[in-house]
Structure 1
Amino acid sequence: MEAALDLMRRMPPRQAETALSALLSLLPHHADNLLSQIDQPLQALFDAESGKEFVLCEYNRDADSYRSPWSNKYHPPLEDGPLPSDDLRKLEIEANDIFSVYRDQYYEGGVSSVYMWKDDSDCIAACFVIKKDGSKSAHGRRGYLQEGAWDAIHVIEVRSEVDGTAHYCLTSTVMLSMTTESKSSGTFSLSGSIRRQMSLDLPLEDGHVCNMGKMIEEMEGKLRNSLDQVYFGKTREMICTLRPPQDGMLARPLPQR
């Protein structure tokens, strides 16, 4: 199991589904652990009743059906699928509306969904997911990428609501893949994933949704900076080392004879 997880951490996100399928065939007795611990690229489904798309993930799945956060119904229909309580459903609706605005402002498109439930200890848990397809044929408004995808999964657990303060534990995963193609540089692909955790004690006067939103906004900023430094920064450094710019080559002093 440890070797399988170590292998998946090194797989490009676009190959994660194929690699996971192979691991499930090799390790069928670890299927539950693999499915629960390995994040896969997100998929979206259209909810005809609400006229909106929603994101498919492990947190809104029961058997082979997925619950829409907009209509609160399963697709395909499932009679005995678990549903949030009335109070939790109101909180979920509010979070989806607010997160949709956040996603449009930060990502200029894409699909977002928020799912809430009670865990085994009767504490609130939530999953905020964003899928942005930046390809020219999808949500990419600027048209720089031939293919591109950004999948963000934020899972928050709320613990210890004491004296007007709650303990929030956030686990965030971002999967990024992008491909550019041009006559001068040819085809170039870059992909990877990153996961971080954060824990904070916050007052409840502003509500759970506000506190969760602040944590997600801060975490996404840190993740974007990490991706810029780790993936883009290192890639830029390697390319400039292997293929120095023409101007840089001319600026170098000639060797002394």
Structure 2
Amino acid sequence: MAAVDPFDSALDLLRRLTPKHVATHINSIISIAPDLTEDLLASVDQPLTIKRCRDSGREYLLCDYNRDGDSYRSPWSNKFDPPLDVGGLGGVNEGAGEGAVPSERVRKMEIKANEAFDIYRELYYEGGVSSVYFWNLDDGFAGVVLLKKSSTPGGNSEGVWDSIHVFEAIERGRTTHYKLTSTVILNLSSSADLGELDLSGNMTRQLEQDLPVDNDDSHIANVGRLVEDMELKMRNLLQEVYFGKARDVVGDLRSIGSLSEGARARDQQREVIGGLGR
């Protein structure tokens, strides 16, 4: 009998547990199997957490792409918090994580991307937090666009939207090949006299596209357009398919109107049908 891979078993278990508490589930698995820590953190999308930059005072989002151990790099200051040892800063071409920082050219694009998506966040989300991180590749660069919006605390309804857009940009002269992997993590809960409703889950979609590039600013525009189109598609899919189906199921399980109103409507329908028949 073939040996069971612990990593595959951990992923299989996470798929069967409620996605609302995925961070708690991952920590529980890591406490049992510490050797799976790096693989799980790199492979499983978790709801984004917020931290405040010490230098700028601005909030930024934490993920595996700006993490080195227990330290996270701020997109505003380009520094890790808590600070890393000088010897652990790594090279600019070693990708994300492990104390790596982008090269000067890629860092300039990262700054412009954070400014652009800060405006995008305000226009589409009217609040929330956004962060963009870039890192170097041998034949281009890569990055991640993070967006988080939580509903105002209080009331009977709560909601959290996390979107994670990881992309690669492979430069080919006047054109660049972009590969985008987008994940949306949505948690919604509502309580009323009839009971409680909890809708939680995540969705992942991918696309690849070749786009023309004139200069580095073209990369910001191209990535912005791809992320915007992908978010609109995923939001419409969530609204039309998932929420629509949930509404249909609830409507089939329990009628909003009273039984007498339903019986009266059926009697009127029969009378109309009988009149047409005569």
Equivalent position to 1:39, from 27, 39, 45: 45
Equivalent position to 2:200, from 191, 205, 210: 191
Structure 1 residue 82: deviation in Å? 2.1
Equivalent position to 2:83, from 77, 82, 89: 77
Whole-Å separation in 2 of the counterparts to 1:225 and 1:7: 29
Letter paired with 1:246: G
Aligned residue in 1 for 2:179 = 169
Whole-Å separation in 2 of the counterparts to 1:74 and 1:93: 16
Whole-Å separation in 1 of the counterparts to 2:35 and 2:81: 28
Whether the aligned pair in 2 keeps the contact of 1:146 and 1:180 (CA below 8 Å) is: yes
More moved, 148-157 vs 200-209: 200-209
Letter paired with 1:61: R
**Does structure 1 residue 128 correspond to structure 2 residue 142?**
no
Whole-Å separation in 1 of the counterparts to 2:117 and 2:166: 14
Q: Which blocks of at least 5 consecutive residues in structure 2 are unaligned? A: 1-6, 90-98, 272-278
Equivalent position to 2:114, from 69, 93, 96: 96
Larger Cα-atom Rg:
2
Whether the aligned pair in 2 keeps the contact of 1:13 and 1:41 (CA below 8 Å) is: no
Structure 1 residue 122: deviation in Å? 4.5
Whether the aligned pair in 2 keeps the contact of 1:135 and 1:146 (CA below 8 Å) is: no
**Does structure 1 residue 13 correspond to structure 2 residue 23?**
no
Structure 1 residue 6: deviation in Å? 3.4
Whole-Å separation in 1 of the counterparts to 2:35 and 2:191: 42
Per-residue CA deviations over 1:18-63 (Å, capped at 9, x if unaligned) read 2112322444443332221101111000113212100000011111
Whether the aligned pair in 2 keeps the contact of 1:111 and 1:132 (CA below 8 Å) is: yes
Structure 1 residue 10: deviation in Å? 4.2
Whole-Å separation in 1 of the counterparts to 2:234 and 2:10: 25
**Does structure 1 residue 235 correspond to structure 2 residue 224?**
no
Q: How does 1:46-85 map to 2 (within 5 A)?
A: 46-79=52-85, 80=89, 81-85=99-103
Q: Any idea what SS the aligned residue of 1:252 has?
A: helix
Aligned residue in 2 for 1:249 = 262
Whole-Å separation in 1 of the counterparts to 2:262 and 2:32: 51
Per-residue CA deviations over 1:127-163 (Å, capped at 9, x if unaligned) read 00011111325xxxxx6x632111110000012x224
Letter paired with 1:133: S
Structure 1 residue 74: deviation in Å? 1.1
Coordinate RMSD, CA, aligned: 2.2
Structure 1 residue 181: deviation in Å? 2.5
Structure 1 pair 106–218 and aligned structure 2 pair: CA distance change class (3 A)? same
How many residue pairs get aligned? The number is 247
Whether the aligned pair in 2 keeps the contact of 1:129 and 1:152 (CA below 8 Å) is: yes
Per-residue CA deviations over 1:58-86 (Å, capped at 9, x if unaligned) read 01111110010011111112233322111
Q: Which blocks of at least 5 consecutive residues in structure 1 are unaligned? A: 138-142
Q: Any idea what SS the aligned residue of 2:116 has?
A: helix
Whole-Å separation in 2 of the counterparts to 1:135 and 1:227: 21
Structure 1 pair 122–61 and aligned structure 2 pair: CA distance change class (3 A)? farther
Aligned residue in 1 for 2:96 = none
- Percent identity over the alignment? 46
Whole-Å separation in 1 of the counterparts to 2:226 and 2:121: 15
**Does structure 1 residue 111 correspond to structure 2 residue 129?**
yes
Letter paired with 2:146: V
Per the normalisation by structure 1, the TM-score is 0.88
Aligned residue in 2 for 1:217 = 228
